[in-house]
Amino acid sequence: MVDSRRLDLLDPAEVARLGGIEIVAQGVVEGFLAGIHRSPFRGFSVEFTEHRAYQPGDELRYLDWKILARADRLFVKQFEEETNLRAMILLDASRSMAWRGDPARLTKRGYADRLVAALALILLRQRDATGLMTFDEAVRQVIPARVKAGQWTRLVRGLIDTPDGLGTAAETALRQLAGLLARRGLVVLVSDLLLDRGLALTALRYLRHRGHQVIVLHVMDPAELELAGPPEVRFRDPESAASVVVRPRELAGAYAATVRREIAGWRAACRRHGVAYHHIRTDMPFGMALRLLA
């Protein structure tokens, strides 16, 4: 039975109506962590540095039980930052991401924002340095990976402050990101992948070559999977303003086949280059999307 308080398993659009990105992300993460009972993400290694007094909200797994037994006081252990995971999340903020096939659903961008916020919160809670880079035809926001207090708020502010762009130039952002990551880390690309696949894969391959773990989250609206609409319609690309007149009913089959072929193509190419690929629909509960990353 699904717990009705588990926001991570509810419809994303309904969850989004509960409040801002912070509230939604926190709710989703709480539900998600309660569901799996342990953190899905772990750093490469941890090294103890000092103790500090326990504060409400600290994870109990970092509680020093020996001090508690000897002095009956609550202290948590702190670890050396260098030993934590460094994660950078790349968010596609292009014009095509600001689209939804049904007003009752979130746009791809809206879904991605909340998913990125939740993912960042999970990483930060386990003391992994997390940063954010947003891009469209150029890099718009860069928030370096940190683990200090207030980092998550900065990340969320960065998401909110990034407007919907125009075109998509992922390879530029990926190459710039490679320069920012001095040590090996985790790179998560969140995009609808309506971009030049060859160039993007070259950049991703480069990141892998640098030793980074790369995850691609391919976000799609359900309406992009199946073609529907009036008997005849002029479809216009929001990024290029190019248009084409089609009869959705007679092209639906061929379109669906093309989309399946495209997804399969991305999946195969990513696997070939050691990149993890996940296809995420915007009607998928956030918890399920996060589970894909576990």
Partner 1 sequence: MTFLHPLALLGLAAAAIPALLHLLERRTPPEAEFPPLRYLRDAERQSARRLRLRHLLLLILRTALVAVIVLAAARPILPTGLGGGSGRGSTAVHAPTALAVVLDNSLSASAVVDGRPVLDRLKALARASLAQAAPGDRLWLVLADGVARAGSREALLASVDGATATPQRLDLVPAVGGAARLVAAEPLPAREVHVLSDLQRTALGAGSVDVPGVAELVLAPPARVPANRGVAAARAGDGGLTIAVSGTPGASAAPLVARVQPPGSAPARAREVGRTLAAPGQSVTLPLPPLAPGWWIGEVLLDADELRGDDRRLFVVRVAAPASVTAEADVGPFLSAALAVLRVARRVVVGGEIAIGERLGAARSIVLPPGDPALLGQVNRALAARGVRWHFGPPGPPGTLASADLAMVRGVQVNRRYRLEGTEGDSGVVASVNGEPWLVRDGGVVLLGSRLDTTWTALPGAPGFVPFVDALANRIARGEAPVAEAVGAPRLQFFTRGADTVGATVFGPDPRESDLTPATPDEVRRAFPGARLLDEAGLAAERFAATRRADVSGLLLGFALLLAAIELAVASMSR
Binding site for partner 1 (CB under 8 A): 95-96, 99, 192, 194, 224, 227, 229-240, 242-246, 249-255, 257-259, 262
CB of 170 to partner 1, least distance (A): 15
CB of 194 to partner 1, least distance (A): 6
Cβ nearer to partner 1, comparing 35 with 229:
229
CB of 107 to partner 1, least distance (A): 10
CB of 24 to partner 1, least distance (A): 24
- Coil, helix or strand for 2? coil
Cβ nearer to partner 1, comparing 27 with 110:
110
**Residue 266: C-alpha distances to residues 15, 99, 285 (Å):** 29, 21, 23
Quick one: which of 143, 145, 140, 125 has its CA closest to 186? 145
Cβ nearer to partner 1, comparing 147 with 252:
252
Beta bridge partners of 36: none
Cβ nearer to partner 1, comparing 145 with 227:
227
Cβ nearer to partner 1, comparing 7 with 193:
193
Q: Report d(CA 294, CA 289) in Å as an integer.
A: 9
**Residue 244: C-alpha distances to residues 3, 21, 101, 155, 229 (Å):** 46, 36, 17, 38, 14
Tokens for 242, please give them. 């190019």
Q: Specify whether the CB–CB gap between 115 and 286 falls below 8 A.
A: yes
CB of 278 to partner 1, least distance (A): 18
Q: Report d(CA 39, CA 37) in Å as an integer.
A: 7
At residue 161, φ and ψ (nearest 5 deg) are -80, -10
Cβ nearer to partner 1, comparing 59 with 232:
232
Task: List, in order, residues 6 or more apart from 111 with CB less than 8 Å away.
Answer: 12, 219, 280, 282
Tokens for 204, please give them. 């991703």
CB of 133 to partner 1, least distance (A): 21
Cβ nearer to partner 1, comparing 73 with 249:
249
Beta bridge partners of 218: 191, 279
CB of 13 to partner 1, least distance (A): 19
CB of 99 to partner 1, least distance (A): 5
Cβ nearer to partner 1, comparing 118 with 219:
219
Q: Report d(CA 83, CA 100) in Å as an integer.
A: 41
Tokens for 257, please give them. 């086949």
